[in-house]
A and B are shown apart, each in its own frame.
Chain A
């Protein structure tokens, strides 16, 4: 079974600075998807960024980018120019292609943004 580990329960960043959230996963599959979701206090689940495992190029969405290291099974999220609205719980998630669309979530990282 796949597992996702987020080793940072909480992180803090100064507004306008950069922060990196860590995620590692364990799988025997060669093809899969990885996601970062943001959950603000409203508890909506918002997709931040996705990465297909077969793509070597790291995904980027505006201020959000990932460092995908397939061999190391690492998928970190970098947030540049942090804003107050980035404060939320961030979840890393794994989706198996072989086993349908099930998502396996990490424990989450609470990100606090200081003004």
Chain B
């Protein structure tokens, strides 16, 4: 079945540093990937849509300069949290949609737990 690998699964870092999270589709190509943020016991909130070869589309209220997204290939999207602060601590999940066959559901990565000290 379709597999999405997300790395790292858990990261702890100091306030002010930048953190990069990778999302890879292992056995399919994906022109579109999504990045979500999830607080404990809450739902997934879409942050942005990552489009291969073009700029990401950010949801309202999400700072594009804070959360940099790069989708350089059909199998890799990265989310970089720049100058991270404790309020950025959260669970981040990516998902990818196969190019083919059409109308496939999103396949999710296992998530990244980000803790900023």
A-to-B contact residues, CB < 8 Å: 33, 35, 42-45, 47, 50, 89, 91, 95, 97, 100-108, 110
Distance of A34 Cα from B41 Cα, bound (Å): 22
Pair A43/B105 contact, Cβ less than 8 Å: no
Give the A-B pair count, Cβ closer than 8 A: 47
Pair A103/B108 contact, Cβ less than 8 Å: no
Distance of A110 Cα from B111 Cα, bound (Å): 19
Pair A45/B46 contact, Cβ less than 8 Å: no
Given contacts A43-B110, A44-B111, A47-B105, contact A103 B46 (CB under 8 A): yes
Pair B46/A106 contact, Cβ less than 8 Å: no
Pair A103/B49 contact, Cβ less than 8 Å: no
Pair B32/A44 contact, Cβ less than 8 Å: no
**A105 → chain B closest CB, angstroms:** 5
Pair B42/A50 contact, Cβ less than 8 Å: no
Distance of A71 Cα from B34 Cα, bound (Å): 30
Pair A50/B105 contact, Cβ less than 8 Å: yes
Pair A108/B49 contact, Cβ less than 8 Å: no
Pair A107/B42 contact, Cβ less than 8 Å: yes
Pair A105/B43 contact, Cβ less than 8 Å: yes
Contacts of B111 in A (CB 8 A): 43-44
Given contacts A43-B91, A45-B108, contact A102 B43 (CB under 8 A): no
Contact with A along B84-109 (1 / 0, CB 8 A): 00000001010101000001011010
**A99 → chain B closest CB, angstroms:** 10
